[in-house]
A = this chain, B = another copy of it.
Amino acid sequence: MTDFTAKYKRYQDAFEDVLNRFYDKLNVTPEILAESLKYSLKLGGKRIRPVLMYAVGDLLGIESDKLDNFALALELIHTYSLIHDDLPDMDNDDFRRGKPSNHKVFGADNAILAGDGLLNTAYSVLFGECFKGDGYISAAKYICDCAGIEGMIAGQSADLLHENDRTVDKDVLDFIYEHKTAKLIMAAVMTPSILCGGKYYSELKAFALNLGFLFQLTDDILDVEGSFENLGKSIGKDSAEGKYTGVRLYGLSGSKVKADLLAENCFKLLEAPDGDTAFLRDTVNFVRQRIN
């Protein structure tokens, strides 16, 4: 295990502890609601948003327990978005992280409620500690706006709108990348900055934007080159559905060149903060080279 993977695992484990302590609060009535909420959270995944948040927190000197609620809320939001994305009326995806998607197990009706429930619970978690003051509230609102109708939901809507467009317009692709994917990465990276009164605000924001673009572009590349075994979800669906992807605009080899450029941008932007950015740089490489 490299230093990077060991550290990534420490952050992941810290977040799993937060989640494990939280599951009790999901033991609501009816039981099927509780089970459907926990099912998707327990499917796991890379937990890259919480990991990024803790790592930027370390860089800026924010203790992890000050970030736990934000990391939790953000992962709840991310998980709700996957449940709703997979619905038959949306991407109609039967698999997620190698397991049946929420609606395949609990039915589309319960999956709609599970998504609604996770989204609402994210804010219940955040409101629970709003008394901690202005920085806390600003960070909570930032996450909320990144998730919302000028954030992720706008990106999902644009994604639907431009399905089956014959040509791919770069401005539209950039809009979708920024909103559908980068906004929640920005929420992860910017939370610690906002809690520090906006430390390295513009550099970290640009870093998160580039990393979000890189994340979505590698996703598009993997939809062509990846395997179901590694990804745990159906591949080749984006092009079959006429989705707007980087690969359609840049081609497969062009996308890899573009991905390298985005990674370079990230490295440059990480030169701004004082402190040890090795882990964040390794995370960029991890995203660039990921197979799942």
Please give the residue numbers on chain A whose beta carbons come within 8 Å of chain B beta carbons, in ascending order. Answer: 26, 28-30, 32-33, 37, 80, 84, 87-90, 107-110, 112-113, 115-117, 119-121, 123-124, 126-128, 130-131, 134, 137, 140-141, 144-145, 147-150, 153-154, 156-158, 160-161, 175
Contacts and interface: CB of A to CB of B under 8 A. Distances in A.
Contact of A116 (B84, B89, B150, B158): B84
B30 A110 contact: no
Most buried by B among A32, A127, A134, A150: A127
A134 B128 CA distance: 11
B154 A32 contact: no
Given A33-B153, A124-B141, A116 B117 contact: no
B137 A127 contact: yes
Contact of A141 (B110, B116, B128): B128
A149 B88 contact: no
Most buried by B among A131, A147, A149, A156: A149
Contacts of A88: 89
B158 A29 contact: yes
A209 to B, nearest CB: 17
A33 to B, nearest CB: 4
A120 B149 contact: yes
A49 B107 CA distance: 31
B128 A108 contact: no
A109 B157 CA distance: 9
A82 to B, nearest CB: 12
11 contacts: A28-B150, A29-B175, A30-B161, A84-B112, A87-B112, A90-B109, A113-B160, A120-B144, A124-B148, A127-B141, A130-B137
A149 to B, nearest CB: 4
A242 B84 CA distance: 26
A120 B112 CA distance: 15
